[in-house]
Amino acid sequence: VSKFWSANYDRAMICYLACLHEFGMYAATIDRANGLVGDDIFHYPFAIEGDKVNAHTIKLTLNKDAKWTKALKFMLADLKVALQWSVHHSSVSRGAETALRMAALGPEGPARS
């Protein structure tokens, strides 16, 4: 991507960062609803504010390569944390669904033909 023609890329990255931030707020809401408090509530290791991650802009336009690369590194670290939270919560909910299905079967187990 040319630095001089990267306005569309910048807008796309800002939108992506907004989605990542919104997911973080959703995850924190779910954690609070599940009774978690303090540091147990979901949070990113690097704060996302507007077009910045840990005070480094995600915009490519008029940005130094080293600073832009650092912003991407922080964004990927936040994405990794979001993925870990998502995988953990999907396995927890799958476990709960399995337990409910097993309880519905009763002590005799599935019907035999």
**Domains of the chain (ranges, CATH numbers):** 3-105 (1.10.418.40)
Average pLDDT score over residue span 71-98: 87
Average pLDDT score over residue span 92-110: 61
Average pLDDT score over residue span 43-66: 94
Confidence (pTM): 0.77
Q: How far apart are CA 94 and CA 26, in angstroms?
A: 19
Identify the helix (H) or strand (E) that includes residue 88. Answer: helix 65-105
Number of H helices, E strands in the chain: 2, 3
Q: Would you say residue 106 has pLDDT above 80? A: no
Cβ-Cβ contacts under 8 Å for 88 (sequence gap 6 or more): none
> Tokens 């807008």, residue?
11
**Residue 102, pLDDT score:** 56
**Residue 62, pLDDT score:** 84
